[in-house]
Amino acid sequence: MKKYELEAFIKSFFIFFILQLAFLAHVVWHQYNTAIKNLDNKIASEMKICSLDLQCKNYQIDFVEASNYEKEKLYKSKDKVYMLFSVPTVQGFLLQIYLDKKSYEKKIQELQLEIFKHNILYFIFIFFSSFFFAMYSLYPLRKALALNEEFIKDILHDINTPISALVINLKLLQKEFGDNKKILRAKNSIDTIVALQENLKAFLYKSKLQKEQFSLKKILEERVKYFQSLYPNISFEIDVTNAIIYTNKNSFIRIIDNILSNSCKYSQKSNAKIKIVFKGNILIIEDNGIGIENVKKLFERYYKEQSRGLGLGMHIVKKLSEELGIEIKVESEVNKGTKVFLDLGAVILS
C-alpha cells in the first residue's frame, strides 16, 4: 500500500471507527445506568422484605435515632448503602438496614464485568467493520489513481515518437547551420521536455538499477552547463573532486537535475548563486533562494509551496535516493536559502 493510500485508509478507518465507538459508548453508558438502577431497586426490595421478618442474610441491622430522612428510601453514604424503616413499638428510633460500601462496590464491579463481556463482541465487530469499510472506500481512489497512471503511461509512450523526431531534426539542423542561439534554445527546450518525461517515468516506474562507473565531477559540470544555459542570470560554483561513482547513472542524473531545477526556479534574484561542494562523502548543493517553509513535507507527493510545478520533483528525488541507497537531508530558511545534503558513501568508489 502506497503512502497516500495508507493515509486515506487510516483516515477512513478512524472516522468510521470513532463514530461507531461513540454510538457504542452511548449504548454502554445507558446500559450501565439502567443496570445500576435495577441493582438499587433489587437491594431496596430485599431490604423492605428484610424489614418485615428481620431475616437478613446479605444485610446488617441497626437502630438509629429518628431523623428527618425519608423512610423506605435508599441512601448511599461513604461507608454504606441503607434504608430507614419505622418501628411501631419503638419511639424516637428507626430501623436501619444496610449494606457496607465494599460489598456494594463489589456488586457494581460484577455488573461492569458483565457489561464488558456483553459488549466486547460488539467492539470487535466495530473494529473489523471499520477495517472493511476503509478498504472498500479506498477502492475508488485506487481505481482512479490506476486510471490516471495508465493515462500518463499512454501519454509517455505516444510522445516518444515526436520527441525522437525533434531530436533527429535538431541534429540535422546543427549539421547544416551549426550551433547558433536559436538552435541552442530549441535544444534546451527539447532537453527540458525529455527531463520532464524522465521524471514522469521515475514517478511511475521503479528504476532499473544497472550500475556503471562515472565521474561525479564530469556529471555535475555537464548538468551545471545545461542549467546555466537555461538560467544565465544565476552564477554557479563547483568545488568537487574527481570522485568515481558506481550506481545507476540515469537515476543519479534525475536526482541532481531535480535538485538543481528547484534551486534555479526559486533563486530568481539579482545575486542568485548556487554552490556545489563535495566534502568527504557528502555532496552539498546550496542556493540563496526563497527557502522552504515546511521542510518536513518537502518529499511528500504533490506538495509545493509555490504555484509553479507539479510537486513531484523532490518526491522523485527521495524515491530515487532510496533506491540507490543515498541518504538525503535538507536544511532551509525562508528568504535565505536551502542546503541539500547527499550522502554518497554507499555509491562512491574513490
Could you tell me the CATH number of the domain that includes residue 313? Answer: 3.30.565.10
Residue 63: per-residue pLDDT: 86
Helix (H) or strand (E) holding 65, with range, is strand 60-65
Query: What is the CA 12 to chain-centroid distance, rounded?
Result: 13
In a domain? residue 50:
yes
Region 76-92: mean pLDDT is: 85
What's the domain range around 317? 208-343
195 within domain boundaries: no
Q: Work out the average pLDDT over 186-197.
A: 76
Q: What is the pLDDT of residue 331?
A: 94
Q: Minimal CA–CA distance to 316: which of 200, 147, 154?
A: 200
Integer Cα distance of 103 and 28 in angstroms: 23
Which one of 106, 138, 170 terminates a domain? 138
pLDDT at 221 over 90: yes
More confident: 33 or 270: 33
At residue 137, the pLDDT reads 83
Split at pLDDT 50, 70, 90, the class of 298 is confident
Is 316 inside any structural domain? yes
Indicate whether 111 and 224 sit together in one domain: no
* Residue 182 resides in a domain: no
Last residue of a domain, one of 94, 113, 138: 138
Among 148, 215, 199, which residue's Cα sits nearest to residue 318? 199
Ramachandran category for residue 291: left, alpha or beta (phi over 0 → left; psi -120 to 50 → alpha): left
> Is 60 exceeded by the pLDDT of residue 90?
yes
| pLDDT score for 91 | 77
**Global confidence as pTM:** 0.54
Q: What are phi and psi of 97, to 5 degrees?
A: -110, 125
Same domain, 218 and 328: yes
Q: Are residues 107 and 219 in the same domain?
A: no
Say yes or no: 12 and 120 in one domain.
yes
- pLDDT computed for residue 203 by the predictor: 63
**pLDDT tens-digit map of 319-347:** 889 989 999 999 999 888 999 999 999 99
> 13 and 98 share a domain?
yes
Average the pLDDT over 221-232 and give the result: 88
pLDDT given at position 198: 72
% the chain with pLDDT above 70:
92
Q: Is residue 183, in this structure, part of any structural domain at all?
A: no
Does 162 map to a domain? no
Average pLDDT over residues 303-321: 78
Instruction: Tell me what pLDDT residue 307 has.
Output: 63
User: Residue 191 corresponds to which cell in the numbers above?
Assistant: 532537453
Domain count for the chain, please give it.
Answer: 2
| Mean pLDDT computed over 8-17 | 88
* Three-state secondary structure call for residue 23: helix
In Å, how far are 48, 66, 72, 93, 105 from 89, measured between CA atoms? 18, 13, 17, 10, 34
pLDDT of residue 37: 93
φ, ψ at 244 (rounded to 5°): -105, 125
Pairing of strands 212-215, 93-100: unpaired
- What are the start-end ranges of the E strands in 176-243? 212-215, 235-239
Q: Tell me what the mean pLDDT of segment 111-125 comes to.
A: 89
Mean pLDDT, the chain, rounded, equals 85
Task: Give the model's pLDDT for residue 68.
Answer: 75
Model confidence at 207, pLDDT cuts 50, 70, 90, reads: low
Instruction: Tell me: do 98 and 214 sit in the same domain.
Output: no
> Is 70 exceeded by the pLDDT of residue 209?
no
Joined grid coordinates for residue 247: 550506481
199 lies in some domain: no
Q: Which residue among 138, 162, 195 closes a domain?
A: 138
Whether pLDDT at 45 is above 60: yes
Decide if 161 is inside a domain: no
pLDDT for 141-170, tens place per residue? Answer: 778 777 777 777 777 666 777 777 887 888
134 plus 21 within the same structural domain = yes
**Is 57 in a helix, a strand, or coil?**
coil
Do residue 212 and residue 336 come from a single domain?
Answer: yes
- Across the range 182-208, mean pLDDT stands at 72
**125 and 234 in a common domain:** no
